[in-house]
Each structure stands twice: as C-alpha cells, then as structure tokens.
Structure 1
Amino acid sequence: MRLTSIALDCPDPLALAAFYQRATGYALHPGSGAGFAGLTREDGLHIGFQRVEGHRAPQWPGDGGTTPQQAHLDFDVDDLDEAEGMLLELGAAKPAFQPAGARWRVLTDPAGHPFCIVAR
C-alpha cells in the first residue's frame, strides 16, 4: 500500500492551493477548479483541496471537540525561522500554543488547518 493523495476540506480550493503552491513549489494539477484543486509533487503525491459549504476551520490546539484538529501536514525545512517568516508572509498564522518551538512549530494555513514545520 502506498499513500498517493491527501485531501483537505476548505471554503476556497483555488486560494488554498495557491498558498501551498507558493510554499512548496508543487505543480498545480491541470484539472483544478472552484470545487476541487490539487497540487502534485514530483514523486506523484497529490494534495487536494475540496470545497465544502459551511466549512468550519479546525482549531489548534483544540476547542473541546466541536471543531477538532482532525489532521495536519508536516513539512521538513532547513531553517525554522526562515520558513516561518516566509509562510507568515504568504498568509499563514502562528497560534500562541507552541509545544516544541525549538524543534518544530505549528502554523495554520489561510483556511485554518494546522500544519507543522519541522527542522530537518
């Protein structure tokens, strides 16, 4: 078994795909549109973004269960401070709760999904 795709619910697939495309450099899938957009890495891994009406952003570190984190992505980076600065400029946010700031950091994408950047 091999993982080939990950999909995130969101209110605006093209906007979220643009954020992650600028952050990762992955190629925009040619079939991307308003209802579903995707990015493809060189090895074929696909990250999809699907439109959900009434989407409620997950909460970090959690809000007692009504909108839990659900899932998150981790990205290896060479320099945590540099990567964090670039991602914040692209539209990410940095929650106050940071359980391991020296080794990894939690950010949220423009749709509210938490993701981590991890020192390589």
Structure 2
Amino acid sequence: MSHEVTSAAMFRYSAVTFDCPDPAELARFYGEALGLPVVFSTDDFVLLGQDGAAGLGFNRLADYRRPTWPDPSQEKQAHIELGVDDLDAAEARLIALGAVKPACQPAPDRWRVLLDPAGHPFCISTLV
C-alpha cells in the first residue's frame, strides 16, 4: 500500500480550540498570559494568534461543564503545556491573571498544574 503524500494532501496545524462558557474572558486570560492578540471575534468564538503562526480559539458551549481534575468525574479532554523560564514567577503572574492553583501537584519542582478561568488544567514547565 502506497502512502505517497501529494501537495494537495498536505495539512498544516492551524489552531486548538477550547470549549468554555465565556470565550471573551478565556481569550483575555490566555491573550495576556501569552501576549497574543485577538485575530477574530464573535459573541460565541474568539481566536488569538499572530500572522503565520498557529492560533488558540475559545468556543462558547451552552452546557459547558468544568473539568474536575484530578477527580475523574468530569475529565479534562486536553491541556496546554507552557514553557517558562521561572516557575515561581510564571505561576504568580498567571494567578494574578485569574488562574487557580489546585492542591494536587504531581511534580512541583519540575512543572506546575494550574486551572484557567474556565477550569481547564494547564501546565507550566521549565522543561518545555
């Protein structure tokens, strides 16, 4: 079986989109944290990004239920890993922007787990 790839079949990574109850609020959080501007916005969807780079989207979901990590009753379906130079400084900045630090920290000397304003877990690490 041939797996030849033609230019018509090429794909490029364009964005990851998170469901949430308030796209504008979640876009504000990640936009400030990552220094990304809004490139598209409606009442129900906001896309952050920069020319030529993949973006980060936020989609309103009417019946959105926050992940309950580490409790598996409402699993996280995905999470973002953010590379930082200083764990303590990055954690403090993200908490000031609206993140929450859960009690469960599997390896706090290597990475920290935080929850964004919609409850999505994400990690910060000096290893990324």
Same fold (TM over 0.5): yes
Counting matched residue pairs gives 117
Gaps of 5+ in 1: none
Choose which of 89, 111, 117 in structure 1 pairs with 2:124.
Answer: 117
Verify: 1:25 aligned to 2:35, yes or no.
yes
Residue 19 of structure 1 aligns to a residue whose secondary structure is: helix
Choose which of 68, 71, 77 in structure 1 pairs with 2:78.
Answer: 71
Give the alignment's TM-score, normalised by structure 1.
0.91
Verify: 1:55 aligned to 2:79, yes or no.
no
Residue 41 of structure 2 aligns to a residue whose secondary structure is: coil
Among all aligned residue pairs of Structure 1 and Structure 2, give the percentage whose two residues are the same amino acid. 48
Structure 1 consecutive aligned stretches of length 4 or more whose deviation exceeds 4 Å: none
Gaps of 5+ in 2: 1-10
CA distance in structure 2 between the aligned counterparts of 1:18 and 1:98, rounded to whole angstroms: 25
CA distance in structure 2 between the aligned counterparts of 1:62 and 1:8, rounded to whole angstroms: 20
CA distance in structure 2 between the aligned counterparts of 1:42 and 1:26, rounded to whole angstroms: 11
Match of 2:22 in 1: 12
CA RMSD after TM alignment: 1.3
Match of 1:35 in 2: 44
Higher Cα radius of gyration: 2
